[in-house]
Structure 1
Amino acid sequence: MSALRDFATKALETNRIGFADLRRLQRDVLPQRITTTEEAELLLAVDGALARADRDWNDYLVDAVGQFTLWGVDPRGRVTQSKADWLTAALAAARPKSASTIMSKLLAQAPQIELDARIPGRSVRRALRVPQATARFLPGA
């Protein structure tokens, strides 16, 4: 985590993430992608504080946080209320565009979504426009 903290400190000091910075993050700092909630939260906080970022930064962040949320946190492959709560709190530190893209992609890619889970301002059931009579989990959302 110290390599990631060093990366974040440098990004915040320069107020940007350039092409070379992003490649270093992918190659040297997080070659296995995000593996802990602390890493995800730190990257989201950096995202929210940056003035400029390489054009590929948002794609990397959205994919990395989305994949970690779905497959790196138990229960794997499901969006539960506890995951929705954690992600909502973590996304508050990110730029609004990043946060909304992460949430949208997560809802689109999750194999199972707990329909009673809540995302900011609405239920998952309402966000997906799912009728009340459906099963508790929506496969292939």
Structure 2
Amino acid sequence: MITIALQHFCNRIVAAGTLGLEDVRELNRTVLPDGLTCREEADMLFGLDRAMPDADEAFGEWLVASVVDFAVWGERPTGHIDADTAHWLAASLACGRGPTATGARIAVEVVREAETNDPVLIAFALKANQARAGAEDEGIISYAVAA
């Protein structure tokens, strides 16, 4: 369940049109001091990543680390990305248009960190990484999701 604090944070950031280093510090210290606790929070932040392509790079770093920690070590089975988690990540990061550069990094880092991965996420990460290494178009990576 998404907290009201996270909802207000995202609304404020989108209204301001900027996401800076101090905002990332607030997110980490005040809004989500225990990190991500559910998929809905991650999904909301994936949306914020899409809405704020010029966010301070600290946001991308924080988001990658937080999602890796949540998906690999917070979800069950711990350390393993099962089919359910792989499908959720691939669908949420792709958002029908392909992952952002941060989304592609998330997929790759989750695959690297997990002890085992479902083939869906491995394929998604490989395609996202290839697209990231190739052409980027306005912060969104061209990518077709085969789900």
TM tier relative to shorter chain: 0.7 to 0.9
Pick the aligned partner of 2:94 from 92, 96, 99: 92
Partner SS, residue 16 of structure 1: coil
Change in 2 beyond 3 A, CA 1:97/1:47: same
Q: CA RMSD in A?
A: 2.4
In proportion to residue count, which structure has more helix? 2
- Bigger mean CA offset, 92-101 vs 4-13: 92-101
TM-score by length of 2: 0.76
Amino acid at match of 1:89: A
1:104-132 deviation per Cα after TM superposition (whole angstroms, max 9, x unaligned): 11111112224xx3138x3789xxxxxxx
Q: Distance in 2 between matches of 1:123 and 1:20?
A: 32
Unpaired stretches in structure 1, ≥5 consecutive residues: 126-141
Larger gyration radius, structure 1 or structure 2: 1
Q: Where does residue 30 of structure 2 map in the other structure?
A: 28
User: C-alpha displacement at 1:73, in angstroms?
Assistant: 1.4
Pick the aligned partner of 2:47 from 45, 48, 65: 45
Q: Where does residue 117 of structure 2 map in the other structure?
A: 113
User: C-alpha displacement at 1:72, in angstroms?
Assistant: 1.4
Q: How many residues align?
A: 124
Unpaired stretches in structure 2, ≥5 consecutive residues: 127-147
Matched-pair contact (CA < 8 Å) for 1:25–1:31 = yes
TM-score by length of 1: 0.79
Identical pairs, percent: 30
Q: Where does residue 7 of structure 1 map in the other structure?
A: 9
Change in 2 beyond 3 A, CA 1:124/1:48: closer
